[in-house]
Structure 1
């Protein structure tokens, strides 16, 4: 059975909500002249080149350095081989962080209460996050808890905080889209298809950094209030 078939047969209790959120955000981004849509049919991927200033990027980098620890995944058994970066949640009560969160929330038009805390990631040379999807596998043991905490992930917002000397590209592995780190640039994508089904074509990877250090922040939006 292919990954696509497996995703389609898995229970999808949030399908209607994912479809509704997708329609709303899609229209909102299409009307925003600062947003560019990547020209592919299989997935909805958007970008904006100057979402954060250099000073804002530097401040977030310092905050990430304060909280970074070895990254984990929802499948704890293999995360040490699969995701070798460092990551940590930045302080959600910091007024600067709240300002960045509100900016992302306003851009997508999704209530801030429906989003996870901003997570910062740091990659040293050789570190990576292999191919994965951000949406949850509803057949997995962790889904029971994630369903209670806010349901399925709808949209992902990721901001590159620095240029990288070499490597560190974000690659959507099934559609051939590669996005190199660019300081202050925002990358957005819908984790679902227009009908609300999980979109296997959003599978992506953080390719290994070859020279330098890579910093990003990521914020995931859910289908209902997150706790």
Structure 2
């Protein structure tokens, strides 16, 4: 359905390559297809690939982002800051772009200005050469869940992974969703609806599959892989933002049978088997993720992943998985949160059930 619209519709191009990436083994082909879009002038494609490839293919990333920034893409200029950090400092053209971006109300303007103030200046942009064969190795951008793993608990399984998501990807995700953040609500298993509740003080939003691009899909794939499953079992990616005083009091992520909505949900889609979190920023006080019944606390650095199982070996809700987001004392804290199901969720990552 999307392919006939590919030449003329930017949204169709994005959705097409995301759909390709969600197929088993389809991510490398999706990257190459998106690269074709970028070469034909699709600015958004250039930004997404520039962010996605920043660590694994820096030269290719640099040229994509520089081209998009010259077309006026603010997110490309923000991502180029990471290149400046790795290659000698800010050059005049980038500094001009970044000051312009901060003046537009860019949501991460505060951290952006701090980073600029701390960075040396250089007279010209770095020269990064892209080898032709580099384009044949784009599949190396696919994530792995084996690097830098620390086991915090065997039962339930609680695992921490260092530096799994790039800083550029964290910034890109936050800047993309920031305008959609709203006060978070709490799910009521009796009614199957959500509402504001003092138990949870934060801002939140979610990203359905149809709104994901390759840069965001990679984050979801990485989070899923760390939890030992595939992105096919993931609900919509949630983004959480906590200001001073905000917290999420002790709770379980899984459902319990109730002869009502929750039981129907369990029968239709299975349990929320695992949870995967990514720390999207640093520089705040408090805000640890705590497991009070295990005396375990986690506060990851930017790009770190935490995964934990919500059920026991026989599939029952595990009371030891009780956890909480401790109050933020200073600054602000941002997390990406993903629930992984036992069964594949319905259309667009939303759990569905028969009435």
TM range (shorter): 0.7 to 0.9
Alignment match of 1:97 (pick from 200, 216, 226): 216
Which one has a larger percent helix, Structure 1 or Structure 2?
A: 2
Alignment match of 2:243 (pick from 108, 119, 124): 124
CA distance in 2, matches of 1:147, 1:121: 25
CA distance in 2, matches of 1:149, 1:215: 31
Return the offset for 1:196: 2.4
Return the offset for 1:71: 0.8
Partner of 1:61: 174
Runs of 4+ aligned structure 1 residues displaced above 4 Å come to 76-79
Is 1:49 the counterpart of 2:162 in the alignment? yes
Report how many aligned residue pairs link the two structures: 196
CA distance in 1, matches of 2:209, 2:327: 29
Partner of 2:149: 35
Return the offset for 1:184: 0.8
Higher relative contact order (CA 8 A, sep 6+): 1
TM-score of the superposed pair, with normalisation by structure 2: 0.51
Q: Are the counterparts in 2 of residues 170 and 181 from structure 1 also a CA contact under 8 Å?
A: no
Q: Are the counterparts in 1 of residues 245 and 329 from structure 2 also a CA contact under 8 Å?
A: yes
Please, what is the CA RMSD of the aligned residues?
A: 2.2
Partner of 1:213: 332
SS of equivalent residue, structure 2 residue 197: helix
Return the offset for 1:144: 4.2
Q: Are the counterparts in 2 of residues 130 and 205 from structure 1 also a CA contact under 8 Å?
A: yes
| CA deviations over 1:33-83 (Å, ceiling 9, x no partner) | 532111x45421001010111111111111231221111121268742100
SS of equivalent residue, structure 1 residue 55: helix
Alignment match of 2:284 (pick from 158, 165, 178): 165
Return the offset for 1:145: 4.8
Partner of 2:49: none
Alignment match of 2:255 (pick from 128, 133, 136): 136
Q: Are the counterparts in 1 of residues 286 and 330 from structure 2 also a CA contact under 8 Å?
A: yes
Alignment match of 1:72 (pick from 185, 209, 233): 185
CA distance in 2, matches of 1:187, 1:32: 13
C-alpha distance 166-60 of structure 1, shift in aligned 2 (>3 A): same
- Greater Rg by CA: 2
C-alpha distance 109-179 of structure 1, shift in aligned 2 (>3 A): closer
Return the offset for 1:189: 0.5
Q: Are the counterparts in 2 of residues 90 and 97 from structure 1 also a CA contact under 8 Å?
A: no
CA distance in 2, matches of 1:130, 1:104: 23
Return the offset for 1:165: 2.3
Return the offset for 1:135: 0.8
TM-score of the superposed pair, with normalisation by structure 1: 0.78
Q: Are the counterparts in 2 of residues 51 and 185 from structure 1 also a CA contact under 8 Å?
A: yes
SS of equivalent residue, structure 2 residue 186: coil
C-alpha distance 145-154 of structure 1, shift in aligned 2 (>3 A): same
CA distance in 2, matches of 1:62, 1:148: 37
